[in-house]
Amino acid sequence: MATIEIDSHSGFCFGVTRAINKAEEELAKGGHLYCLGDIVHNASEVERLGDKGLVTITHEQLKQLHNVKVLLRAHGEPPSTYEIARRNNIEIIDATCPVVLKLQQRINNTYHSGSETSPQVVIYGKRGHAEVNGLVGQTDGNALVIENEDEIGKIDYSRDVFLYSQTTKSVQGLGQIVDQVGKRMQAGAELKSYDTICRAVANRIPQIREFARSHDLILFVCGNKSSNGKILFAECHDANPESHLISDETQLDASWLAGKERIGVCGATSTPMWLMHRVKEAAARMLASAGTHAVQGEKEDTKQ
Give the DSSP letter of residue 149.
G
Specify the amino acid at residue 275: L
Angle between helix axes 227-239 and 204-213 (nearest 10 degrees) is 40
Q: How many CB atoms lie within 10 A of CB 147?
A: 18
Report the candidate in 131, 187, 186, 189 with the shortest Cα–Cα distance to residue 164.
Answer: 131
Q: How far apart are CA 82 and CA 23, in angstroms?
A: 18
User: Which helix H or strand E contains 143, and what residues bound it?
Assistant: none
Give the ranges where 156-272 is alpha helix by DSSP (H). Answer: 171-184, 199-202, 204-213, 227-239, 254-257
Candidates 26, 77, 131, 249; catalytic one: 131
151 classed as catalytic? no
Give me the active site residues, please: 131
